[in-house]
Chain A
Amino acid sequence: MIVLYRIDDRLIHGQVVVGWGQRLGIGFIVLVNNEVRASDWEQEICRMGVPPSMEIIFATGAEAAARLPQWEQDRRGGIVLTGDVDTMAALVPAMPGKKSINVGGIHAREGRTERLRYVFLTPDEAAKLRSLAAEGVEVSAQDVPTAKPVPIAELA
């Protein structure tokens, strides 16, 4: 089953693989990113340093929405990872049961303002996260498992 739905613009990196992956005993990571899905070379880079015990699956947004039920049935624990708010928001209808989204890292860029040390949002991104929360999705920011989750209401 999927134990973490995470938005992180660094994609697959130390915090995800080591911080969450090792702690939660993760067996697979799904990276939902159209660009990486289309590039063998990008996929190879993403595989670097991921332990052999962890499977990496690359998917487009559409593929992820279609295969989500299958990943939720998987006996291993998995992480679904997107690089931005929109890609994750598009997966919400396909998520089963109690839905929750972890905002793990969205960094400074033109048009974004700082909400937390590792969360910067445009007004549109903030509004989208707020509206997901209003629909009953639990949305909180937390970079590493040992940090305290910050509810979206406190930053958007």
Chain B
Amino acid sequence: MSEKLNGVIVAHTELAEALLAAVRAIAGDETGLVAVSNRGSDLRALMKRIDEAVGGRPALIFTDMPGGSCAHTAAALARGRPELRVVTGVNLAMLLDFVFHRELPLEAAAERAVQTGRVSVGAIAR
């Protein structure tokens, strides 16, 4: 049995911590997720922060906005590192689903996160 995947949420100011708090409130404390903020950091410092959060283990990195410093830096870190994969557009539905599917291989987990995140966005019919 291989080790379960870890997730790292990288987002602007307090967003990652807030998302993680919401995940914990719904799914409990065993999330496999850690939160990283871009607060007060340039790209180099942020990359170090993300790398420390990854801790040398396979991880799915959830970032907020494509084109933002968080996604940019995570993509640069994950380049040439097959044990890391980055998705953008993190949302609560995506994270909650990840928590309960951490046994998936990295590629499948990334694909699932994108699908789950997409499906959760929409205008409610009336």
Chain A residues near B (Cβ < 8 Å): 9-14, 17, 41-42, 45-50, 105-109, 117-118
Contacts and interface: CB of A to CB of B under 8 A. Distances in A.
Contacts of A45: 72, 75-76
B71 A108 contact: no
Given A14-B12, A46-B72, A118-B40, A108 B66 contact: no
B69 to A, nearest CB: 4
Interface of B: 12, 40-45, 65-69, 71-72, 75-76, 79, 88
A10 B43 CA distance: 6
Contacts, number: 57
Nearest to A41: B79
Chain A interface main SS type? loop
Contact of A13 (B44, B72, B76): B72
B42 A107 contact: yes
Contacts of A107: 40-42, 45
A10 B66 contact: no
A109 B67 contact: no
A109 B72 contact: no
